[in-house]
């Protein structure tokens, strides 16, 4: 459409357009990278414009003027999210922060709880039918525009046209300023790639093929994405698209084929990144840009089966409370989309949420896992909402667990330097028992190499991994689930009680070198259950004593043999050359397993009805 021919009376300069803004007006400005920079600068530079209240989701251009008192005396900024550029200004009280869930911000405009007089937006040029596109900023921009009394649009040929809700007809625009300029680019810089890679490795374990992902604001979730390159048929339903997604699109990891809601489409609301990203979404029918009211509605989110929400946090306390928007009394970012997606993922069939964060801040001087949130820190996500927490030291599963287990899970993935402190503080608060042992101070990343899976003939898969302190409660349940005869064969007595002290000593004795315990786990619905435990421990020079027990319904499926081979592999790495085991003579099944794995085993019968089996490892050349 030729604007000069269709509506010449609407075409004005930016300087003339902003003169329509009356003193005392409440002005909405489009979000972040889609904000109309030229209009903002024109408004700021017109010194006759006074006492203006600005509402914006993410503010970029204003950050260039925020330290000029001539500007801050004329404009009052109210932001729903504090961008990196505005953080210092927030600390100094130069802007106002409105804590609100993204899904509910449009409702504030519609009900006039936040009244708007003027909207400054940026659009693409109109098509032949007169429709302009809000492009990369549909989010709350559409609602802000629709609920403002007067609309001024910067028409920029560089703004992509995007499919979805973000169309506005030139008839509905009051003033049009045609001005071409580069869009704002926002490219996050990773702060510590080694930590990011370690966190991503754990997140990768939690994301299954065919899952639908949401990825929150921040550099960490964005830089986790490329590490999902080995997945298949991922779907996307997320508030913001960043450059982190591009490799997954290019490698066809993201196909959206298996999405249960709006399949074959990326559902999103906002785009923040590079010119390459903006070119990729331009007129691309894969992308379906909807309003924040739709994209962030937990009920809409929940229509996606197996939706996994990935977001970050500033700190988390030992009970699971999460702070995202403030450092103490200093407002730092915003509530944003985290709570909407955490609650939506919880309602999703087989869905869950992941909070990913480095274990420390301030160059390792401060733990992000804390006994209690910092004074003044706000709880964005409650302890009842949190599912899974990931740091570079592992995965903590909190949902459905008591405070005692949460403390142990979180202390286990804290930085080793802070683990004893966290346990000590938990004892003071009576979260855990007074004699509770702290997790190992070791960096246990190497244990990832000891994880494996065994596919059973019945179609089930058993996951094998080293025992961790947080397994204490599951280990208790395992032992109590065993039949009396199985317990007798394992412990040589008819043990009735598996005390907390006994189980605590079991994991505390594991140093993962001289002593090792491997557990076998099966997935039952949304929770996992231990079905096998195997251990070795120092017996004498180069010899380890070995033992294992398998739950009755999983016996004769190869778990014992698999456990034995896995334990031998680890024992060899730790300079052992043989296993020794003491077995009751009537335990024929276990003796057969040992003899099968070690044909040269030497069996010595004792006087009390037991046999001692000495099992030298084969030389690798044999």
Positive or negative, the Cα torsion across 272, 278, 282, 285?
A: negative
The larger pLDDT score, comparing residue 87 to residue 52, is at 52
- All residues at 6 or more sequence positions from 263 whose CB lies less than 8 Å from its CB, including other chains: 235, 256, 257
Domains of the chain: 3-178 (3.40.1080.10), 193-428 (3.40.1080.20), 450-616 (3.40.630.30)
pLDDT in tens, 578-603: 999 988 888 888 888 898 999 989 98
Would you list the DSSP string of 155-201?
A: E-TTSPP-SBS-EEEGGG-SEEEE---PPP---PPPS-HHHHHHHHH
Strand partners, 536: 516, 546
Tell me which of 43-57, 324-338, 409-423 is least confident.
324-338
Give the pLDDT score at 575.
Answer: 94
pLDDT in tens, 173-203: 999 999 999 999 988 776 788 899 999 988 9
pLDDT in tens, 373-430: 998 888 888 999 999 999 999 999 999 899 999 999 999 999 999 999 999 999 999 9
Tell me: pLDDT of 209 over 60.
yes
Angstrom distance (rounded) from CA 532 to CA 66:
62
Give the pLDDT score at 485.
Answer: 74
pLDDT in tens, 302-319: 999 999 999 999 999 999
- All residues at 6 or more sequence positions from 189 whose CB lies less than 8 Å from its CB, including other chains: 219
Tokens 């939506």 correspond to what residue? 344
Q: pLDDT-derived band of residue 352, with 50, 70 and 90 as boundaries?
A: very high
Give the pLDDT score at 376.
Answer: 85
**Full strand arrangement of the beta sheet holding 148-155:** 96-97, 75-79, 52-56, 26-29, 116-123, 148-155, 175-178
Would you list the DSSP string of 73-98?
A: TTEEEEESS--GGGHHHHHTT-SEE-
Give the Cβ contact number of residue 336 at 10 Å: 27
Task: Report which of 254, 239, 176 is spatially closest to residue 20, judged by C-alpha positions.
Answer: 176
Tell me: pLDDT of 498 over 80.
no
Task: Report which of 307, 380, 378 is spatially closest to residue 338, judged by C-alpha positions.
Answer: 380
Confidence (pTM): 0.87
Contact criterion met (CB below 8 Å) for 322 and 355 = yes
């Amino acid at each position: 459409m030729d604007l000069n021919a269709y509506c010449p009376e609407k075409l004005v300069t930016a300087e003339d357009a902003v003169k329509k803004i009356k003193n005392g007006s409440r002005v909405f400005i489009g979000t972040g990278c889609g904000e109309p920079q030229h209009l903002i600068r024109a408004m700021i530079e017109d010194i006759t414009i006074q006492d203006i209240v600005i509402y914006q989701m993410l503010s970029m251009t204003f950050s260039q003027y925020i330290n000029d008192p001539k500007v801050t005396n004329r404009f009052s900024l109210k932001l729903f999210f504090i961008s990196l550029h505005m953080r210092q200004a927030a600390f100094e009280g130069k802007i106002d922060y409105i804590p609100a869930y993204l899904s509910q911000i449009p409702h504030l405009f519609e009900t006039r709880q936040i009244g708007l007089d003027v909207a400054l937006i940026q659009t693409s040029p109109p098509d032949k039918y007169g429709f302009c596109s809000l492009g990369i900023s549909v989010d709350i921009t559409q609602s802000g525009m629709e609920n403002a009394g007067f609309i001024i649009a910067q028409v920029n040929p560089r703004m992509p046209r995007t499919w979805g809700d973000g169309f506005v007809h030139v008839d509905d625009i009051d003033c049009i300023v045609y001005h071409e300029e580069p869009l704002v680019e926002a490219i996050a810089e990773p702060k510590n790639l080694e930590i990011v890679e370690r966190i991503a490795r754990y997140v990768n374990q939690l994301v299954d093929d065919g899952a639908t992902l949401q990825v929150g604001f921040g550099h960490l979730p964005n830089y986790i994405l490329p590490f999902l390159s080995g997945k298949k048929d991922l779907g996307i339903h997320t508030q913001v698209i960043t450059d982190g997604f591009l490799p997954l699109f290019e490698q066809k990891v993201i196909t959206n084929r298996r999405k249960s809601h709006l399949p074959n489409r990326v559902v999103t609301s906002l785009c923040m990144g590079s010119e390459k990203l903006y070119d990729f979404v331009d007129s691309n029918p894969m992308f379906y840009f909807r309003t924040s009211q739709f994209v962030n509605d937990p009920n809409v989110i929940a229509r996606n089966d197996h939706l996994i929400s990935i977001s970050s946090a500033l700190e988390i306390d030992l009970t699971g409370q999460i702070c995202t928007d403030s450092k103490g009394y200093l407002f730092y970012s915003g509530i944003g989309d985290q709570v909407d997606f955490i609650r939506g993922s919880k309602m999703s069939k087989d869905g869950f949420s992941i909070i990913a964060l480095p274990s420390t801040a301030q160059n390792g001087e401060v733990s992000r896992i804390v006994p209690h949130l910092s004074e003044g820190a706000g709880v964005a996500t409650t302890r009842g909402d949190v599912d899974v927490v990931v740091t570079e030291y592992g995965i903590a599963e909190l949902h459905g667990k008591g405070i005692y287990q949460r403390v142990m899970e979180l202390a286990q993935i804290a930085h080793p330097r802070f683990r004893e402190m966290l346990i000590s503080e938990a004892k003071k608060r009576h979260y855990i028992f007074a004699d509770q042992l702290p997790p190992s101070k070791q960096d246990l990343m190497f244990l990832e190499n000891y994880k494996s899976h065994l596919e059973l003939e019945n179609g089930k898969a058993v996951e094998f991994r080293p025992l961790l302190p947080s397994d204490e409660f599951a280990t208790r349940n395992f032992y109590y689930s065993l039949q009396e005869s199985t317990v007798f064969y394992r412990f040589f007595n008819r043990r009735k009680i598996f005390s907390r002290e006994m189980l605590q000593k079991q994991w505390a004795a594991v140093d993962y070198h001289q002593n090792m315990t491997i557990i076998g786990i099966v997935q039952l619905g949304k929770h996992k259950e231990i079905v096998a435990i195997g251990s070795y421990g120092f017996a004498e020079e180069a010899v380890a004593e070995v033992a294992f027990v398998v739950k009755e319904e999983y016996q004769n499926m190869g778990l014992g043999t698999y456990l034995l081979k896995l334990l031998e592999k680890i024992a060899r790495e730790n300079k052992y050359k043989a296993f020794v085991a003491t077995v009751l003579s009537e335990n024929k099944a276990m003796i057969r397993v040992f003899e099968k794995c070690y044909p040269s085993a030497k069996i010595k019968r004792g006087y009390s009805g037991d046999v001692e089996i000495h099992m030298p490892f084969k030389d690798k050349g044999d």
